[in-house]
Amino acid sequence: MKHIKKALKIAALALPLMVTNACTDLDENIYSQLATNNFYNNREEVLSAVLRPYTHANAWVTPGQDGWWRLNELSADQLAWPVKGRHGQDGGRWLRLHYHTWTPDDDFVWGAWRLMWWGLGLCTDPIQSLEARSAATMGITEDEKAAYISELKLLRAFHYLKIMDLYGNIPTVTAVGDPVSPPTQPRTEVFNFIEKEILDNINSAPVLSQSMLGRMSQAGAYAMLVELYLNAETWTGTARWDDCIAAADKLISGQAGGLNGSAALDPNITDTFKPSNYESKEILFSIAYEFQRANFTPQWPGDFYHFQQRFIYGGGRNGNDGVVVIPGVYSTFADNDMRKTEWMLEGPQYRYDDPTQPVIASGGNEYDGQPLVFVDNIRKNKTLQPGQDPESLPSDMTQGEENSGVRFNKYKLGALEDPDYNGTDWAVYRLSWIYFAKAEALMRKNGGNATSEAVALINQVKQRAFTAEDWASVQYTTGTLSLDELLNERGREFIFEGFRRQDLIRFGKFTTTSWWDHKPSDPTKQLYPIPRRQTTLNENLAQNPGYN
């Protein structure tokens, strides 16, 4: 045993000798990532953090992922993602959106929640970081610091507004990680919180100008107020029509700035959606893209484009052949309405590079090897027997083929040779929408009847879609512009823009009416459920009614 003791003694003596600091140092060295605690040291770093939530907003505010856009459009009466042959089953997710049969477990319910709160955190984190540091240490002026914080708080309010639009009763949190399990606030409280955040910060934020392209400014903030007040009656029970009109007037009068001079309606129905729409006068807040130099490109082709779309427009991007216009919607556009042909694709498609040649479908789907023809119906035309009436074929969410449905063509990516190709900005708010909101507020204040001012507002927007000779017969009068007609015209003007569910709810039609393969659902479906994975984790979250 002596030897053991001796050995242990030597070991015991030797080991500590080897233990210097270097020998037990387990600090991590970070080489190609950035550590949070060593950032915001100069203007570029500050700006890179301030701009982070915008690239993220691309994910949830535009089509392409489970976010605000998809949950608002694919549950409403204009757009759907039907099963098309072997494509689009996708676990039944698109059917459940269309049928309003979602549950707290649905991945899109969680997906939108996840993306939007994440984006909100990307606002709060730099707000806290900027507030905790002096302007001097960040190499910016006090005014710049205040402007950045205001911009971020307004952008955060925008997140809250859209989360509230979908989920209604939600927590309000202003610090990352604190409190760990924040409680649900009633929607009225959330509404008041958002309103206060906007009003507190609107004046210290920059007005809109070309240098604020793609960012939240006073223009975006007033647009938020318009949206907030337009829906105030639905969301809080208290109508705010006058506030809505006042906020809209700020924008219409150009007091909040404009992207290119004072904000104004674009002169036609294409300028707002073209590849160079950074030149638009009416866009108030957009997600800005740029492909040629920056390779930051819109994500929506995935949702809208056919597998062979690039041959139609001469660009390089195709899609998943997903979202189509629900049968019956296309025909609500008058044939002389230029929006019908300019914003949608229907019928045989021809090659961009040779318009005499049809686009041939390939890729092993129903019309492989045959000309691509988008049809205004969703049914298995391929199975039609000679002499059979096509109308006798069933038409529902599961009966699509690769060419079913009229397609999106509102925003244009441009052809490859276009210098702005693939960089078309996505307008979150545009002035036409403000015109419609103000007109609606005026009408609702007036017992649901049009006023001449309301008619003028709508006509100014609508007139761009018709030729001069057609215009006289299609323009609205106080006699023809009913609230229902206003909703219909909203549908035509703002198709694909993400507001349809909100509009239907405001007009009391979202859960009470039928359209195509959709039947009336339960009033509780006007709110999405809180994702189950959050209600199981945070006991302070209350589930929305109807989902327990």
Which residues inside 54-93 make contact with another protein, applying CB under 8 A?
A: 54-56, 83, 85-93
CB of 222 to another protein, least distance (A): 21
**Cα 405–71–153 angle (5° rounding)?**
135
Interface with another protein includes 301 (CB under 8 A)?
no
Greatest CA separation for the chain: 114
Interface with another protein includes 20 (CB under 8 A)?
no
Contacts to another protein from residues 154-173, by CB under 8 A: 171, 173
CB of 368 to another protein, least distance (A): 5
Nearby residues of 433 by Cβ (< 8 Å), 6 or more positions away:
223, 226, 494, 497, 499
- Give 15 or 472: the residue with its C-beta nearer to another protein: 15
* Residue given tokens 């150009």 in the structure block: 254
Interface with another protein includes 290 (CB under 8 A)?
yes
Residues near another protein (CB under 8 A), total: 110
CB of 272 to another protein, least distance (A): 18
The structure tokens listed for 30 are 């970070």
CB of 303 to another protein, least distance (A): 13
Contacts to another protein from residues 368-407, by CB under 8 A: 368-370, 398
Return the bridge partners of 427, or none. 286
Interface with another protein includes 199 (CB under 8 A)?
no
Residue selected from 20, 132, 180, 468 as contacting another protein according to rule CB under 8 A: 180
Helices (H), 100-217: 107-132, 135-138, 142-167, 187-201
Give the span between the Cα atoms of 481 and 487, in whole angstroms: 10
- Residue from 172, 174, 163 nearest 123 by CA: 174
Contacts to another protein from residues 124-143, by CB under 8 A: 124-126
- Give 293 or 355: the residue with its C-beta nearer to another protein: 293
- Give 308 or 521: the residue with its C-beta nearer to another protein: 308
Among the candidate windows 26-34, 326-334, 456-464, 496-504, which touches another protein by CB under 8 A?
26-34
Give the span between the Cα atoms of 400 and 320, in whole angstroms: 14
CB of 85 to another protein, least distance (A): 6
DSSP per-residue codes, 77-108? SSEE---BTTBS-GGGHHHHHHHT---TT-HH
- Give 296 or 471: the residue with its C-beta nearer to another protein: 296
CB of 314 to another protein, least distance (A): 10
Residue selected from 20, 21, 25, 419 as contacting another protein according to rule CB under 8 A: 25
Task: Decide if 62 contacts 374 (C-beta within 8 A).
Answer: no
Instruction: Count other Cβ atoms within 10 Å, centred on residue 540.
Output: 12
Return the bridge partners of 287, or none. 426
The structure tokens listed for 169 are 């009763």
- Give 403 or 459: the residue with its C-beta nearer to another protein: 403
Contacts to another protein from residues 304-323, by CB under 8 A: 307-308, 310, 315-318
Residue selected from 131, 179, 452, 522 as contacting another protein according to rule CB under 8 A: 179
- Give 27 or 354: the residue with its C-beta nearer to another protein: 27
**SS3 (DSSP) at 191:** helix
- Residue from 184, 150, 180, 191 nearest 170 by CA: 184
Contacts to another protein from residues 334-373, by CB under 8 A: 362-364, 368-370
Question: Are β-strands 283-287 and 426-430 bridged in parallel, bridged antiparallel, or unpaired?
Answer: antiparallel
Return the bridge partners of 454, or none. none
- Give 44 or 391: the residue with its C-beta nearer to another protein: 44
- Give 96 or 444: the residue with its C-beta nearer to another protein: 96
DSSP state of 404: B
The torsion defined by the Cα of 287, 292, 293 and 298, in degrees rounded to 10, comes to: 20
Residue selected from 20, 21, 27, 385 as contacting another protein according to rule CB under 8 A: 27
Residue selected from 295, 488, 512, 524 as contacting another protein according to rule CB under 8 A: 295
Return the bridge partners of 170, or none. 185
Contacts to another protein from residues 498-537, by CB under 8 A: 532-534, 536-537
* Residue given tokens 């015109």 in the structure block: 435
Specify the amino acid at residue 477: T
- Give 449 or 538: the residue with its C-beta nearer to another protein: 538
* Residue given tokens 């002169």 in the structure block: 267
Among the candidate windows 95-103, 269-277, 402-410, 443-451, which touches another protein by CB under 8 A?
95-103
Give the span between the Cα atoms of 314 and 348, in whole angstroms: 16
Contacts to another protein from residues 98-127, by CB under 8 A: 99, 101, 103-107, 113-114, 117-118, 120-122, 124-126
CB of 27 to another protein, least distance (A): 7
CB of 212 to another protein, least distance (A): 8
Interface with another protein includes 262 (CB under 8 A)?
no
Among the candidate windows 196-204, 302-310, 445-453, 469-477, which touches another protein by CB under 8 A?
302-310
φ, ψ of residue 144 to 5 degrees: the values are: -65, -45
Nearby residues of 413 by Cβ (< 8 Å), 6 or more positions away:
275, 298, 301, 313, 315, 317, 421, 422, 424
